[in-house]
Amino acid sequence: MKKTTRRTFLASAAAAIPAVATAAVAPGAVKDNPAFKTCPRARGGKNASRFPQVIVQDQHKEKAWFYEDLIADKVVLVSFTSVKGEKYYPLLSNLVKVHEMIEDRIGKEVQMYTVTTDPYHDTPEDLKALAEKHGARWRFLTGAPEDIREILASFNARGSLYALSWIGNEKTGRWMNKPSRLQPLFITEAVGRLSTGKQHKPFLVDDHSV
């Protein structure tokens, strides 16, 4: 019997999405945004109705459900750029500084992602080269253009150049955004404020010691 791995499961699940999409869409979302007609939503989570449940692929070609695997029950920092857009509005160098300030928490308490705003051109190989060029050691995401457009719409990201980073704690359902080129300390402060437990840092002075 053929063994079912996580990778084969994701591949088969992605193929099944069109068949179940219409039934899983929130009625309000369909009414307000026709683009949501073909996108299913997760069944649980604070903002499951907001974020699309689509397959994305990182620069290492690792696939994941965007909401279920990358957002739900996590503290996340999500930014947006593209290979072409980075030439006109560079922001990765600033986000690298943010990453350095919270590096000991990345992959543990905090997850960091950059979503391409140009899924028609940015392949995993392109994003890997972009990340390595800037020394960015977090996950860069692309996928089917219609799926990435769903993700961008869920963050109100409009246009090929998008300058805001979103920081969220999906366990509590609290989100805020900051300019991606803002002084790194103020971005890490947002991460600290939305964190919970011993990672909660309500005051800016606390981040100086990070």
Q: Give CA–CA dist 124/205, Å, rounded.
A: 38
| pLDDT score, position 140 | 98
Q: Which two tokens stand for residue 136?
A: 């960015």
Number of domains making up the chain: 1
**Tens digit of each residue's pLDDT, the chain (210 residues):** 444 444 444 444 444 433 333 333 333 444 455 444 456 677 778 888 899 999 999 999 999 999 999 999 999 999 999 999 999 999 999 999 999 999 888 778 899 999 999 999 999 999 999 999 999 999 999 999 999 999 999 999 987 778 999 999 999 999 999 999 999 999 999 999 898 877 777 666 555 544
In a domain, residue 186? The reply is yes
Query: Is residue 142 classed exposed, middle or buried when 0-12, 13-18 and 19+ CB atoms within 10 A define those classes?
Result: buried
| pLDDT score, position 22 | 33
In a domain, residue 6? The reply is no
In a domain, residue 28? The reply is no
Contact 43, 58 (CB under 8 A): no
Radius of gyration of the chain, Cα coordinates, nearest whole angstrom: 17
**Angle formed at CA 145 by CA 176 and CA 75, multiple of 5 degrees:** 25
In a domain, residue 16? The reply is no
Question: Any idea what the CATH number is for the domain that residue 149 is in?
Answer: 3.40.30.10
Q: Which residue range is the domain that position 109 belongs to?
A: 45-194
pTM of the model: 0.77
* 65, containing H or E segment: strand 63-65
- Per this entry, what is the length of the chain? 210
Q: Give CA–CA dist 199/119, Å, rounded.
A: 34
In a domain, residue 133? The reply is yes
In a domain, residue 26? The reply is no
In a domain, residue 22? The reply is no
In a domain, residue 24? The reply is no
Q: Which residues are paired to 58 by β-bridges? A: 141
